[in-house]
Amino acid sequence: MERRTTSTVVITTNCCDGVTIGGLVGIRPEKILRVCTIILRDESGNPVAKDVEQRLQLACNVYKRDANIRIAPSRPFRYATGFLGAETVQSDWVVTAVSPGDPDTLDPMCDPGGEWWLGGAKYQWAMSSYCFYGAWRRILGYGAPITIFVVRDVDRDAAAFDSTDGCALWITNYVTIQAGISPLLGVPRR
């Protein structure tokens, strides 16, 4: 029986796939990150944010420039070539929830406990309702979109850092981003 050490597993996992080998010689094929952005409404029925397109555009520019990842909206018949620049964010990339939210969804806790109970179930329901096209990809697990929920506030007491503007847990396929955080204007780094 062959004995496998940790270093053997790491070497064979990282060095024997085409993307890693291509990356070592300078070949970086473009990857696509599909997103579905949902702005939640507060208890009064008002959207919690209005400036989401600027933040998405900044993410598109940085991901394309630094990692050769194209951010694209999760919808049918959306094709792009790898020879173009970053996507231009349109207003139809963002969906505003129809019904008002509640404290479970508007002010989420940034810990796994909050995701396994009622708050996580409500986010999963919203993903299935507003981002229906990506549901089949979530079942397969390949190319599944990331759903971005724009929420009123992220619970900083449960988060690991005091300056938390959002939360993404390893057990979910969505992120929560706090509304009202102004995007960086200009280019973060060159």
* pLDDT for 87: 85
* pLDDT for 74: 85
What is the mean pLDDT for each group of 10 consecutive residues in the chain (190 residues)? 57 61 77 91 92 90 90 80 80 91 84 73 86 77 85 69 71 84 55
* pLDDT for 128: 85
Q: Specify the DSSP element, H or E, that contains 58.
A: helix 52-67
Write the DSSP assignment of 22-34 as a string of letters. Answer: HHHTT----EEEE
Instruction: Give just the sign of the alpha carbon dihedral 51, 178, 102, 124.
Output: positive
Q: Which amino acid is located at 8 in the chain?
A: T
* pLDDT for 1: 43
pTM: 0.78
**Distance of alpha carbon 4 from alpha carbon 45, whole angstroms:** 57
- Cβ–Cβ under 8 Å, residues 33 and 26: no
* pLDDT for 162: 54
Write the DSSP assignment of 159-171 as a string of letters. Answer: SSSTT--EEE-TT
Beta bridge partners of 72: 34
